Structure 1
Amino acid sequence: MDLWQLDATDLARLIRNGKASAVDAVDSVLKRLGKVNPVINAVVRVYEEEARAAAETADAARARGHALPPLHGVPVTVKINVDVAGQPTDNGVVPLKDFVAQEDSPVVANLRHAGAIIVGRTNAPAFSMRIFSDNALHGRTLNPRDPSVTPGGSSGGAGAATATGIGAIAHGNDIGGSVRIPAYCNGVVGLRTGFARIPSFNPSSANVGRPVGAVLMAVQGPHTRTVRDARLALEVMARGDRRDWRWNDVPMQGPPPARPIKAAIVPEFPGAKTHPAQAAAVRQAGKHLQGAGYVVEEILPPDLERGVELWHMICVTDVFAGLWPQMQKMGDPDGIAAMRAWLELHKPVDLTTYVAALTEREGMLFRWMSFLQQWPLVIFPTLADLPPKQVADVTVEGQKQVLNSMRPALIAPLLGLPGLAVPVGRHDKLRTGIQIMAMRNREDLCLDAGEVIEAAEGVVAPIDPVPA
C-alpha cells in the first residue's frame, strides 16, 4: 500500500517506528497530488519545496532521538482562509492574492507543533460564503465522486483533497456547515467542533474583530477518512492560545453519560424536503447505534424551524452590514449573485430585532441543554437533499433550494454545538451521510458514536476522481 493511502494514525506510527520516513510520506502525497489534483483542483497552492525541507528536518529530528509529536512527518492541508506565515490569506478573492500573513493562525501553529507538514492550501469560494468551492482567483473545485455536483463549501477543497488521498487530514472551518457539508458531498468524515474548543482567529485581522454571529458560530475542524483521525486531529488542533478569549481548556473526554446512551434521530428535518436516501441514512445510522446498545428514537428536539430562522436573521444582518459591501467590491460574479439571492430571500433586520434574535437564541440554548440531558446525541441528515448541481445558487430559486437543503446544518452553529459528519449508505455515485450532534465540549460522544457507525459501514478509502 502506498503511504498516501494510509490514515494519519497509521502513517504517524510507521514514521515513529522508523518503517517509513517523513520524506517518503511527503513524496508519496505530492506524487498523488500531481496525479489527481489537476482533475479536481482541490489544492490551489502547493508548498512542494517547503514540505520537502520540513520532511528532511523531521527525519533528522528522529535520527537524533528527539521525542516525536503525534503527527510527526504527516502531510496535511490547510484552507486558504487561515493565516500561514509568509503566505497569502487570499480567501479566494483576487484583490487579496498578495495579502501575506506574518504569522500562523493558532490552528496552523497547532498542526505544526504536532509535527504535521503542510503540503498545500485547499480551495474555497470567495470569502468562504457558499457551499460551492469556486472563485475567480483559483477556479472551481470538482467533486471527485461526481463532477457535476458541488464538492461542498466552503471547505470543498479540503473535502475533495481528503477523499482522493491528498493528505490524511485537511483543515476546514464551519459557520453554517462548511466542514460537515464538504464531508458529506465527498463521502469522508468531517468534525465541526463546538464553540471555543479550538482557538480560532487570524492574526492578520484579529485587531479588526468579527461580527457577533461569527464570534458565536464560526469554528475550526478537520476532514479525515477515519473517525480515529478526527479524534487525533481534534486533540492536536485544540492546543490553547490565550489570545483567543473564547478558548476553554477542558478535557477531551467528558464524564460518562448514563447508560444506555440515548440518541434522538430526525430523518426528515422540519420545513425541508428531505431526500428519501438521506432520511434512510439517518434511520440506518440509528440501527447501527441500536445494535451497539444505544437507545434510539425518532424524536424532535426543540425549536428546529425557529432555529433556522434565527441563524438567518443573525447571519444575514451581519453579512449585510460588513461582508456584502466587500463582496460587491472584491468578489467574483457568482459569489456576488449567490449572496444577492440569499439577501433577497432573507432580509437583514433592524437593531431591535437583531438583539431580540440573539436573546431568543439564548432561550433556545437553555431548552436544548435540557433536551440533551435526556438525549445526549441528536442525529440529522447533513444536508436534507443530495449535493446540488454546480453553480445552483446564483439565482433566487436555485438559492432557495440550496438553503432549504442546508436547514439541518444550521442548528449546530446557531447553538455552538459540535457535529460529526459520517458517511452512511450510498446513492448512485455518491455517499449519503448524517451528522451526529452533542452538547458543547462533548465531541467525544460524537466520535464514539461515529466509530460505531464506521465499524458497520466500513472505513472510507481514498478514491480516484471521476473525470469531468
Structure 2
Amino acid sequence: MDNELWRWSAVDLAHAIATRAISSREAVQSSLDRIAQVNPSLNAIVEVLTDEAHAAADAADAAVKAGAELGPLHGVPVTTKVNVDQRGYATTNGVVEFRNVIATEDSPVVANFRKAGAIIVGRTNTPAFSHRWFTDNDLHGATYNPWSKRLTPGGSSGGAASAVAAGMGAIAHGNDFGGSIRYPAYACGVAGLRPTPGRIPAFNPSATSDRPITAQMMSVQGPLARTVADLRRALTAMAQPDMRDGNWMPVPLQGAALKRPIGVAIAPAPFGDEAPEVSAAVRTAGRWLADAGFAVKEITPPRLAEAADLWHRLVINEERRTLAPAIRKFGDSKSRYNLDCHIAYAPQLDGDEVLACFEQRLAIVRAWQLFQERYPIIILPVSAQLPFRFDQDQENETVVRALLDAQRPLLAVPALGFPSVVVPTGTAGNAPVGVQVIAGRFREDVCLAAAEVIEARGPNLTPIDPRE
C-alpha cells in the first residue's frame, strides 16, 4: 500500500477506490495515521472518529466488491465541523456549555456526505459560537496554522482549513457567513468554495429556533480542499436536496456557456489600503487569466464599499438582538471581546433603518448584476492584509478596527449573495497568499473554472508539514 495516500486528492482517491486499485480502508487508515502524526501540534481535529471511520470504510469496500452504485466521494476521508449536527456527536460550536448537546440525527451536509460515500474521520474546531477569524475556545483549545503558529489558521472554519492543509482529510466541511470558509482557506493556503445561498442545504435538527433573517440570506455550507477539482466534486456531493431547508434551490450545477472572450474585472486595491503582496496576487491572477484568453480589465465592481458596510449594518444589528446575549452568557473571554469590538464597529440602527438597508442591498445587487453582464468574473483580494497574527483580534481597539477594515472585500460577497472561490497564488514570506474569484448567482461552475486556470499556474502549496 502507498503509505502516503493522505497526500492524494479526493478525485484520485475516489477513482482508485472505485477501480479497486486501493481500498477505502487503506485510504482512511492513511488519513488516520496522518492525523496521529500532525494533529497533536495543530489541534485542528478535536474528535477523531477512528472506530466509526474503520467500519464505514469496510462497508464502502464491501459495496465496491458487490458492484453497487457508488457516490462521488465513495470511500474518501473527509472532516466535518463541530457546529453542525452529526448523529451521536456533540454539536459544541466551540462552547463549553454545549459539550453535551448530542445530535440525534444528521444535518443535511453530513447526510449528503454519507450519501456520497464519504468517510468522516474527524470533527474540526471552531471558535466559540463560530464568531471569529481566529480559532480558539475554552472547550477545545486553540487550532494552529500549519504554516506558522504565529499566524491565525483563520476562522471560523480554522480547524477545517488547518486539517486539509496538513493532509488530515481530502475534503473539509466548513461554513461561511462572514468569510468563515474563504478566510481560513486563504490563511492556510488551500482552496475554499462559498456557494450561492440556497445551493447546499443547511439545518441543525438540534436547534431550538430557526436562524435569523441575515443568516438565512448569507450563511452557507461549503467545502475546503487542496485542489479546485476536489471542491467541484465536493459541491456535487453536498448540494443534493434536503427538504428540511426551505431555502434550498433546485438549480443545475452547470450553467449556460459564457460568450467568449469572457470578461474578467480585477480590483487589486479596491479600498486603497491593501498590502502590496495582496495587490500583486490579484494582478498575477489577472495576468494568468489573460494568458488563457480571458478579457481582463483592472476595474472595481460598483458600490463595493457600500456592500461591505451593509454586511456590518445588517449582521451586527441582528446579532445585538440574537447572538450577543448568548455570547455574553456562554461565550469565553476572547469571544466576548471580539463581539464587543464588532458591535462597536457598526452603528446601532432602528427597525426602519434596517429595512432601508434591505432596500439598499437590492440596488447594489442590481448594479453588480449589470456589471457582471460585461465582467462575469470578478477577482478581488480575500483580505487587504496577509494572514493576521495569532489572536490579533484580542489586541487594542485600533488594531481590531484595522483588522475589520481589512476584511471588507471578504464581507461584501455574502452581503450580496454571490458565490466565491478562494484559490492560492503563492506565498509572501512565511504566509500563503491568494485571491477570491466571484461570479453570478448559482454560477459556481464559472468560479471553479476560472480558479482552476489560476491554480494551474500557481505553486502546489499543500499538503504541508506543520511549522513552528
Q: Would you call these one fold, judging by a TM-score over 0.5?
A: yes
Deviations 1:121-173 (Å, cap 9, x if unpaired)?
Answer: 11110000100001010000011001101000000010000100000100000
Equivalent position of 1:90 in the other structure: 92
Equivalent position of 2:171 in the other structure: 169
Q: Take 2:142 and 2:459, find their aligned partners in 1: how far apart are those partners?
A: 30
1:45-124 alignment, distance < 5 Å: 45-124=47-126
Does structure 1 retain, via aligned residues, the 8 Å contact 2:425–2:459? no
Equivalent position of 1:449 in the other structure: 450
Does structure 2 retain, via aligned residues, the 8 Å contact 1:226–1:459? no
Deviations 1:59-112 (Å, cap 9, x if unpaired)?
Answer: 122222212211111000011111101111000000000001111110111011
Q: Are 1:21 and 2:23 matched, yes or no?
A: yes
Does structure 1 retain, via aligned residues, the 8 Å contact 2:146–2:467? yes
Change in Cα spacing, 1:238 to 1:210, as seen in structure 2 (3 Å) is same
- Counterpart AA for 1:333: S
Instruction: Identify unmatched segments of 5+ residues in structure 1.
Output: none
Q: Take 2:467 and 2:142, find their aligned partners in 1: how far apart are those partners?
A: 15
Equivalent position of 2:203 in the other structure: 201
Other structure's SS at 1:134 match: coil
Equivalent position of 2:354 in the other structure: 354
Q: Take 1:295 and 1:216, find their aligned partners in 2: how far apart are those partners?
A: 32
Other structure's SS at 2:465 match: coil
Q: Take 1:152 and 1:19, find their aligned partners in 2: how far apart are those partners?
A: 36
Number of paired residues?
465
Does structure 2 retain, via aligned residues, the 8 Å contact 1:269–1:407? no
Equivalent position of 1:325 in the other structure: 325
Other structure's SS at 2:47 match: strand
Other structure's SS at 1:135 match: coil
Does structure 2 retain, via aligned residues, the 8 Å contact 1:21–1:59? yes
Q: Are 1:254 and 2:252 matched, yes or no?
A: no
Does structure 2 retain, via aligned residues, the 8 Å contact 1:151–1:185? yes
Q: Take 2:244 and 2:36, find their aligned partners in 1: how far apart are those partners?
A: 38
Equivalent position of 1:405 in the other structure: 406
Q: Take 2:459 and 2:252, find their aligned partners in 1: how far apart are those partners?
A: 29
Provide TM-score, normalisation by structure 2.
0.98
- Counterpart AA for 1:213: T
Q: Take 1:93 and 1:69, find their aligned partners in 2: how far apart are those partners?
A: 34
Provide TM-score, normalisation by structure 1.
0.98
Equivalent position of 2:372 in the other structure: 372
Q: Take 1:100 and 1:349, find their aligned partners in 2: how far apart are those partners?
A: 37
Does structure 2 retain, via aligned residues, the 8 Å contact 1:226–1:460? no
Instruction: Identify unmatched segments of 5+ residues in structure 2.
Output: none
Q: Take 1:264 and 1:99, find their aligned partners in 2: how far apart are those partners?
A: 46
RMSD over aligned Cα, in angstroms?
A: 1.0
1:253-272 alignment, distance < 5 Å: 253-270=254-271
Identity within the alignment, %: 47
1:399 Cα shift? Answer: 1.7
Other structure's SS at 1:55 match: helix
Q: Take 2:461 and 2:200, find their aligned partners in 1: how far apart are those partners?
A: 25
- Counterpart AA for 1:409: L
Equivalent position of 2:389 in the other structure: 389
Q: Take 1:49 and 1:196, find their aligned partners in 2: how far apart are those partners?
A: 34
1:460 Cα shift? Answer: 4.0
Does structure 2 retain, via aligned residues, the 8 Å contact 1:345–1:396? no
Equivalent position of 2:431 in the other structure: 430
